[in-house]
Amino acid sequence: FEPGRYIVGNTGVLVASVLYRKKSGGKNFLIINAGMNDLVRPTLYEAYHDIVPVKHSNQPKVTVDVVGPICETGDFLGKDRQLPWLGQGELLAAKCAGAYGFAMSSQYNSRLRAAEVMVEGKKFHLIRCREQYQDLVMNETGTGLKNTSIGDTLA
């Protein structure tokens, strides 16, 4: 029993847009704009997250791997899923992403962290903005170190 996951695990979804689809090595792939840096649980723990289209699709269902744009073997959200053969711009939702989604996200491969939106009935509230390029390089360029020397920072 894990209280945090029990309380919020089912309360979050990761919504991603299809960038493109491809066939390779006898497999079908939906490449989406979210990757292992956004939801690492499938890669680390082989965790299963149900993945569904946000809107109903009349496309026939095919067996697909839902993968991110990072181009690594671990960059997937789901393998061998029965989903419609969605096109560019269509949305998918990975369910049960409320626990550890943002907490375990990273800027791996120079990718910015996603925004977080709270939905309450028909209302929604932006609770964390999507990162900007400045957030990615802030500590690398020294812009976060004001009026200190490197010696003061390491002391």
Q: Where are the domains of the chain?
A: 3-101
Q: Residue 124 CA to chain centroid, in angstroms?
A: 19
Contact call for residues 100 and 5 (beta carbons, < 8 A): yes
- Give the C-alpha separation, 145 to 136, whole Å: 15
**Reported pTM:** 0.83
- Give the C-alpha separation, 150 to 155, whole Å: 9
- Is 96 part of the annotated catalytic residue set? no
Report which secondary-structure segment, H or E, holds 128. strand 123-128
> CATH: 1.25.40.10, 2.40.37.10, 2.60.40.10, 3.40.50.720. Which one for 3-101?
2.40.37.10
Nearest to 109 by CA among 67, 66, 70, 68: 70
Catalytic residue among 7, 71, 119, 127: 71
Contact call for residues 14 and 32 (beta carbons, < 8 A): no
Nearest to 105 by CA among 37, 21, 10: 37
Longest dimension (CA), the chain: 62
**The pLDDT of residue 100:** 77
Query: pLDDT truncated to tens, each residue of the chain (155 aa)?
Result: 677 778 888 888 999 999 999 999 999 999 999 999 999 999 999 999 999 999 999 999 999 999 999 989 999 999 999 999 999 999 999 999 888 778 889 888 889 888 889 888 999 999 889 999 988 888 775 555 565 555 555 55
